[in-house]
Amino acid sequence: GQQVMQIPQYQHVQEGEDFTTYCNSSTTLSNIQWYKQRPGGHPVFLIQLVKSGEVKKQKRLTFQFGEAKKNSSLHITATQTTDVGTYFCAGLTGYQKVTFGTGTKLQVIP
């Protein structure tokens, strides 16, 4: 079945360092979304990418969708303690069905 993997599973960074998480799908995706989940909270939508090679930015966050639409990345520049949480990618697979990646848990050390 459809698989969406993320690496790394965990990442500890010093505040101010950059962070990147990678998402890889076993099949081509029509679109990909990114969500952030704070500790003890629920996932919150960040962004959606649709086009091959698309790049979108939200302040210090840069999202990229691969040319083959099977992979994506999220890069955070100069991390802050407010960036702590787990970041999930999610791909639309099948009719109105979304498969979430395994997530990357980010810890920022002040």
Partner 1 sequence: NAGVTQTPKFRVLKTGQSMTLLCAQDMNHEYMYWYRQDPGMGLRLIHYSVGEGTTAKGEVPDGYNVSRLKKQNFLLGLESAAPSQTSVYFCASWTSGRETYEQYFGPGTRLTVT
- Contacting positions for partner 1 (CB under 8 A): 1, 6, 9, 31, 33, 35, 41-45, 48, 50, 88, 90, 92, 95-103
CB of 62 to partner 1, least distance (A): 19
Pairing verdict, β 71-76 and 19-25 = antiparallel
CB of 78 to partner 1, least distance (A): 27
CB of 60 to partner 1, least distance (A): 21
Closer CB to partner 1, 62 or 102, in the complex: 102
Q: Are 36 and 44 in contact (CB under 8 A)?
A: yes
Q: What φ, ψ does residue 81 adopt, rounded to 5°?
A: -65, -25
CB of 100 to partner 1, least distance (A): 4
Residue 20 exposed, middle or buried by CB count within 10 Å (0-12, 13-18, 19+): middle
Closer CB to partner 1, 13 or 92, in the complex: 92
Rounded Cα gap, residues 13 and 4, in angstroms: 24
Closer CB to partner 1, 50 or 84, in the complex: 50
